[in-house]
């Protein structure tokens, strides 16, 4: 595209002066696209850019509003190419440091090309605001999808997480972290492909203080890793693993792990990520295989060391459940409420079965009690007349049977599962991943003493003043030599060395 005016040299590659100032016009005014329109840093001051022309991009409508700013649907005038333009509200374009940081991150994001990542293709400053141009995804983000349809099937949710993990592994392999994985940042396109948004944005723009709208902070906090909530600057890919686990939980249950009313304040939500266990998935539905619930639990572990060792291992664990074909119809099928309705029907069916079973159990218990009372009377009567009761033996057996029956009923109703040792979480992944402790992990307590085993990731042993899982990793990316054999990936990304 034609850059109307550039301070210094054009292009993102000019680190010393990244401020490409784009002109703003109203489409009705005659604009010669090839003409250098001169510097324009103070065009439309309005917060609504619809109907404006930024460079060659004809801004048509607002399609989203997030913590970082607004997202518009736009069309490139000459190429007639649909794009999404994100106008970032929270970057101070007069602050050289934050501009440089933004440019560094944007450059990385622009060079990573992967079929599950949304490509960033352009960027600059307009009206004193930073903006980014990305591919327009013709589809729906996961937050909207689940709000519309209700929780997804195991196959659908697993496929979405599989594809997202695939993209995130590519990001890790390129020494980057996303830092803001959540349903609103993952889109499903009309071909059934997952597309991850906003790579690199979290680090550059959002600091807690710069966000004023509590609801938006809360939305982001629903998916934040405990160590990221404590110190967001020193996290590694395992923070994204945790956020992906929260997203998986959301897809399966329709709600984020800590979104109950007790966690309605910022502090209580962060505390919940640090300390609490989310309600078990089986409390919402019973059709999720144990291997999948175990995987979610492991991804949500408070300690990064006890999460899966890589995104590849998440893909490996999910490949038996993920079904690519299941996604394409999610957007098109009109039976949008099938899942929800099906779930409600299943729930009411289950309720009915529970009521019948409860009634039968109560009747049997009442009858047994009657028999026991009767036997007790008989026993006392026979003692009075000096006879040895012949039914003494069977009376004891009846009591034992009844106790066992009551125990079985209790197990049935509480849903306690007796899990064989080999199925316990931890056998799921490679030996680098330690058995999750049954003790709840507080980020402020040491979870693994040096004598209990070697650090799992190969990172240097953490200093004693901080718990191990809040330690910054030695490298910002996954250490080499610990990646399990890669499953056959469905899409391969490339890293471009030059901005294109």
Question: Which residues lie near ligand ATP (CB under 6 A)?
Answer: 63-64, 66-68, 71, 84, 86, 118, 134-137, 141, 180, 184-185, 197-198, 220
In DSSP notation, 405-416 reads HHHHHHHHHHT-
Q: Give whole-number Cα distances, 179 to 72, 73, 265, in Å.
A: 23, 25, 22
Nearer to ligand ATP, 127 or 443 (CB): 127
- Which two structure tokens, joined as six digits, stand for 131? 């903006």
As measured in angstroms, the least distance from the Cβ of 19 to ligand ATP is 22
- Using DSSP, state whether 395 is helix, strand or coil: helix
Nearer to ligand ATP, 84 or 152 (CB): 84
As measured in angstroms, the least distance from the Cβ of 139 to ligand ATP is 7
- In 10 A of CB 306, how many CB atoms? 22
Point out the catalytic residue in the list 122, 173, 180, 222: 180
Distance separating alpha carbons of residues 186 and 184, to the nearest angstrom: 6
Nearer to ligand ATP, 247 or 310 (CB): 247
Nearer to ligand ATP, 111 or 182 (CB): 182
Nearer to ligand ATP, 63 or 489 (CB): 63
Q: Give whole-number Cα distances, 263 to 268, 270, 272, 440, in Å.
A: 5, 8, 7, 18
**Contact present, 240 and 289 (Cβ < 8 Å):** no
Neighbour-count burial of 322, counting CB atoms closer than 10 A to its CB (0-12 exposed, 13-18 middle, 19+ buried): buried
Q: Give whole-number Cα distances, 255 to 151, 281, 432, 433, in Å.
A: 9, 10, 31, 28
As measured in angstroms, the least distance from the Cβ of 64 to ligand ATP is 2
**86 annotated to bind ligand:** yes
As measured in angstroms, the least distance from the Cβ of 173 to ligand ATP is 23
Place of tokens 């078990």: 280
Strands 194-196 and 24-25: unpaired
Nearer to ligand ATP, 180 or 312 (CB): 180
HSE-CB for 349 with a 13 A CA cutoff? 8
As measured in angstroms, the least distance from the Cβ of 97 to ligand ATP is 21
In DSSP notation, 148-213 reads HH-SPPHHHHHHHHHHHHHHHHHHHHTT------SGGGEEEETTS-EEE--TTHHHHH--GGG---
Active site residue 222: no
- Using DSSP, state whether 134 is helix, strand or coil: strand
Nearer to ligand ATP, 292 or 327 (CB): 327
As measured in angstroms, the least distance from the Cβ of 147 to ligand ATP is 11
**Contact present, 304 and 236 (Cβ < 8 Å):** yes
Distance separating alpha carbons of residues 479 and 304, to the nearest angstrom: 14
Binding annotation for ATP: 86
Catalytic residues: 180
């Amino acid at each position: 595209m034609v850059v109307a005016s550039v301070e210094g040299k054009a292009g993102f590659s000019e680190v010393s002066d990244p401020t490409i100032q784009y002109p703003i016009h109203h489409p009705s005014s005659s604009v010669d696209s090839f003409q250098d329109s001169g510097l324009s840093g103070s065009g439309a001051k309005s917060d609504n850019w619809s109907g404006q022309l930024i460079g060659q991009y004809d801004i048509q409508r607002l399609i989203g509003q997030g913590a970082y700013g607004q997202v518009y649907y736009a069309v490139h005038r000459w190429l007639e190419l649909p794009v999404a333009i994100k106008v970032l509200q929270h970057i101070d374009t007069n602050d050289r440091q934050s501009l440089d940081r933004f440019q560094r991150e944007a450059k990385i994001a622009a060079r990573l090309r992967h079929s599950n990542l949304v490509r960033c293709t352009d960027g600059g400053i307009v009206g004193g605001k930073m903006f980014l141009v990305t591919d327009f995804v013709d589809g729906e983000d996961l937050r909207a999808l689940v709000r519309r349809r209700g929780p997804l099937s195991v196959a659908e949710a697993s496929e979405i997480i599989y594809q997202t993990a695939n993209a995130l592994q590519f990001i890790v392999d390129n020494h980057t972290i996303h830092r803001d994985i959540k349903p609103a940042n993952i889109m499903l396109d009309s071909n059934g492909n997952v597309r991850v948004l906003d790579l690199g944005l979290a680090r550059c723009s959002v600091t807690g203080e710069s966000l004023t709208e509590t609801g938006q902070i809360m939305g982001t906090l629903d998916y934040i890793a405990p160590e990221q909530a404590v110190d967001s600057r020193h996290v590694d890919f395992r923070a994204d693993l945790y956020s992906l686990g929260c997203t998986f939980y959301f897809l399966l249950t329709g709600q984020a792990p800590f979104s109950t009313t007790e966690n309605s304040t910022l502090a209580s939500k962060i505390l919940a990520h640090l300390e609490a266990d989310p309600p078990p998935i089986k409390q919402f539905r019973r059709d999720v295989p144990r291997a999948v619930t175990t995987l979610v639990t492991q991804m949500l572990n408070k300690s990064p060391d006890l999460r899966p060792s890589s995104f590849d291992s998440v893909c490996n664990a999910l490949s038996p459940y993920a079904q690519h074909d299941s996604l394409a119809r999610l957007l098109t099928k009109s039976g949008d409420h099938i899942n929800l309705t099906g779930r409600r029907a299943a729930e009411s069916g289950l309720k009915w079965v529970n009521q019948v079973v409860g009634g039968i159990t109560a009747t049997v218990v009442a009858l047994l009690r009657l028999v026991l009372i009767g036997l007790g009377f008989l026993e006392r009567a026979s003692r009075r007349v000096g006879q040895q009761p012949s039914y003494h033996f069977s009376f004891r057996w009846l009591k034992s049977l009844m106790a066992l029956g009551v125990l079985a009923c209790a197990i049935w109703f509480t849903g306690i599962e007796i899990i064989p040792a080999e199925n316990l979480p931890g056998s799921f992944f490679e030996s680098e991943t330690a058995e999750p402790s049954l003790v709840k992990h507080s980020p402020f307590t040491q979870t693994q003493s040096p004598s209990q085993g070697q650090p799992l990731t190969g990172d240097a042993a953490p200093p004693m003043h901080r718990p191990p899982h809040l330690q910054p990793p030695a490298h910002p990316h996954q250490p080499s030599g610990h990646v399990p054999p890669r499953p056959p990936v469905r899409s391969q990304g490339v890293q471009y060395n030059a901005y294109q």
